[in-house]
Amino acid sequence: MLYQQSREDSAGLLRLAVQRMGQHPAALTPICYTVWYEYLAGINPHLATSMDARLREGGTLADAAIDELYRRHCSEFSAEMQQHMRDASQHVLVNLRQQADEARLRIGEFGGRLEQSASSLSGQQGVEALHSIISSLQGETAAVASSMRDLGQSLEQSQQAIDDLRRQLDHARAEALVDPLTGTMNRRGFDIRMDESLGHARRQQAPLSLVVLDIDHFKQVNDSYGHLFGDQVIRGLAQILKANVKGRDTVARIGGEEFGLLLPETDVGGARILSEKICHTMALSKIRRVSSNQEIGGITVSVGVASLAQDEDQNGLFDRADRAMYASKGNGRNQVTVAHV
């Protein structure tokens, strides 16, 4: 469970969150509160990294920034999917309650009728009166049985609806971890997979390498050829990455023009060889502009490689690979730098 704070701690976080929210122009919505609560509670490290970077720049957090932070780091599902799940669940519950209320009413009426019949039978009754009571009870019993069948069918339909919701939820959860432009994992999916990979590496005492790649001069590419071509470049790099990984390796778009590769069971030497192959392949690639059919080449990537060190956590591993990538940029771009422990 994400929220494990005590009542006293959560009350303190509430006061602090409201205070901090008041210092920024974003509306005081539940989404805004969630972002500030998780940041101040220290339970969402990737949110904290993004928030710290924004706050260090001296900027204020408006609605758009809060929405982006929430979508990227706090919410598994879109607002539309959340509303759909709420509406569908409510519909199932309302139907169940109506059927249960009707069944309860029928049983109550049947109980009253049984008491009335028992009272009638306690007196002296003729054959015709007895037949009438039995016939009435048969009708009441049939009505209750019908009501029970309706309730059973309703329960079965509700179970089917719940199963459908569960499948939709699983599908939505999977979609929430995928970058729509490239079909690779997004940053949230990457963080989840990285946490799993670190756990596996610790348990199996196996190597784990991380590769961080960033497209060189990407702003210049966008300015020169347009954002649509920029998207083509991002998709092209994603295709190269996917073509060069295997098995349990993970490709993720973790920023605008930044990608991450998680390589379980791969030491730093193997990760370097793979990274140099990718770097070389990208530099030789030509990407055709859809608008003019012109082929554009010479687009390169800078790459950083790090292998998991003893007692290193997720943030430490990523930070070393990221700094190695920036070292590649500082040394002239279009190259691979290996981070040392």
Catalytic residues: 257
**Burial of 159 per CB tally in 10 Å (0-12, 13-18, 19+):** exposed
Closest CA to 308 of 275, 262, 243, 242: 262
Which H or E element spans position 10? helix 7-21
Rounded CA gap, 316 and 228, in Å?
35
List CB contacts of 294: < 8 A, sequence separation 6 or more. Answer: 288
Q: Residue 288 corresponds to which tokens in the numbers above?
A: 């055709």
Would you tell me how many other CB atoms lie within 10 Å of the CB of residue 109?
A: 14
Rounded CA gap, 6 and 78, in Å?
29
- How many CA atoms, within 13 angstroms, populate the side-chain half-sphere of residue 165? 19
**Burial of 166 per CB tally in 10 Å (0-12, 13-18, 19+):** exposed
Which residue bears the tokens 């990538």?
A: 325
